[in-house]
Amino acid sequence: TRSFKIAAIAGDGIGKEVLPEGLKVLAAAARRFDIDIEFVHFEWASCDYYLKTGDMMPPDWKAQLSGMDAIYFGAVGWPATVPDHISLWGSLLKFRREFDQYINLRPVRLFEGVPCPLANRKPGDIDFYVVRENTEGEYTNLGGIMFAGTEREVVIQESVFSRHGADRVLKYAFELARARARKHLTVATKSNGIAISMPWWDGRADAVGADYPEITVDKQHIDILTARFVLQPQRFDVVVASNLFGDILSDLGPACTGTIGLAPSGNLNPDRTFPSLFEPVHGSAPDIAGKGIANPIAMIWSGAMMLGFLGDAPDAPRGCREAHDAIVAAIEEVLRSGPRTGDLGGKATTVEVGDAIAGLI
């Protein structure tokens, strides 16, 4: 049977602490479900590497990674002496674009045993997906500064959308909504204030949606949409958003379920022309890095998503979906009654939580 080759990249900060726990759990799942996974470790795509070499990645990074089935990624961006346009644009944002990972899929779910910051919400009330466009939109370095350094300074920042880019993420979101029980899709917009791109985006949602008459579509402006995440989280099923709005909603959503420390993400290339990348939503978290107290669950859950995605391919070995489910069940069990890290009010270490989850596989 076919085996997987997975690039393991720790990156910076707590990335180095949570990645080993994710690998530990994946190894346990691979053993139990008889999946053949080879992990290939890369020290680059980290600020350490940049500080040593002057580059975030070696010149042949793309060739080195292109043969991989997926990238399992910790976090990047620390120390702060390395500016974002080097650390992030030189690694994570580059992967998203150059590997055409045009879907950023981010589940938002309230677990039993996790204290919810929203009053009177119980597991089941919050259980949805944010589908974020991941390659274009508001994240650009296009534009410039006129009269720079003077009182007359004017700055232009351009967002770039394409029908190609919008339609494929909308289609993905409609398909996901169709596969779910409630068949409800929220489209994030701001067409009343951002007058060119967002009315056009609304139009693309209508056009793509014409093929999905069974899906209820609810267009919401981003301002009131963030308010509704807090006031009526149970109303959401699948939420599709531009790069920026998806970024916002996929931090706010997990916050409403207790902690960013649980939230996983898949940077997906659904066409499988390049490897997809799986990473926690949280970043390198410099404030707690090096202490061994970071919550590894976002990393571990990201690993489960990776197996699920790999298992959906036509030629995938058996057992991947089962492995995904087993990891998620182990996470549920540990959140219910196992050791927990400080962000969840516990005192357990990163390793203790990783061991507990691996032990249940």
Ligand X SMILES: CC(C)[C@H](C(=O)O)[C@@H](O)C(=O)O
Residues that bind a second copy (CB under 8 A): 77, 84-85, 88-89, 93, 115-120, 138-145, 150-164, 190-200, 222-224, 226-228, 230-231, 243-244, 247-248, 250-252, 254-256, 259-260
The span from the CA of 4 to the CA of 32, in Å, is 15
- Closest alpha carbon to 126 in 144, 108, 114, 143: 108
DSSP single-letter state for residue 39: E
Decide: is 158 part of the binding site for ligand X (CB under 6 A).
Answer: no
Q: How far is the CB of 217 from ligand X (least distance, A)?
A: 21
Closer of 281 and 316 to ligand X (Cβ): 281
Decide: is 83 part of the binding site for ligand X (CB under 6 A).
Answer: no
The span from the CA of 37 to the CA of 45, in Å, is 22
The alpha carbon torsion through 133, 91, 78, 134 (nearest 10 deg) reads 0
Closer of 51 and 230 to a second copy (Cβ): 230
Closer of 64 and 191 to a second copy (Cβ): 191
The span from the CA of 74 to the CA of 61, in Å, is 17
Decide: is 88 part of the binding site for ligand X (CB under 6 A).
Answer: yes
Q: How far is the CB of 31 from a second copy (least distance, A)?
A: 36
145, interface contact from a second copy, ligand X, none, CB < 5-8 Å by kind: a second copy
The alpha carbon torsion through 230, 234, 237, 238 (nearest 10 deg) reads 0
Q: Cβ(260)–Cβ(254) under 8 Å?
A: yes
The span from the CA of 294 to the CA of 291, in Å, is 8
Q: How far is the CB of 96 from a second copy (least distance, A)?
A: 11
Decide: is 86 part of the binding site for ligand X (CB under 6 A).
Answer: no
- Closest alpha carbon to 204 in 167, 234, 157, 236: 167
80, interface contact from a second copy, ligand X, none, CB < 5-8 Å by kind: none
CA distances 23 to 3, 72, 103, Å, are 16, 9, 24
Q: What residues numbered 313-332 form the site for ligand X, per CB under 6 A?
A: none
Decide: is 140 part of the binding site for ligand X (CB under 6 A).
Answer: no
Closer of 166 and 249 to ligand X (Cβ): 249
DSSP single-letter state for residue 343: G
Q: How far is the CB of 64 from ligand X (least distance, A)?
A: 22
- Closest alpha carbon to 259 in 294, 292, 211, 216: 294
198, interface contact from a second copy, ligand X, none, CB < 5-8 Å by kind: a second copy
Decide: is 112 part of the binding site for ligand X (CB under 6 A).
Answer: no
Q: How far is the CB of 329 from a second copy (least distance, A)?
A: 27
| Sole binder of ligand X in the list 192, 232, 234, 337 (CB under 6 A) | 192
Query: What's CA 144's distance to the chain center, in Å?
Result: 30
Q: Cβ(168)–Cβ(131) under 8 Å?
A: no
Closer of 18 and 281 to ligand X (Cβ): 281
The span from the CA of 294 to the CA of 123, in Å, is 23
142, interface contact from ligand X, a second copy, none, CB < 5-8 Å by kind: a second copy
Q: In the complex, which residues of this chain contact ligand X (CB under 6 A)?
A: 88, 192-193, 223, 247, 281, 283
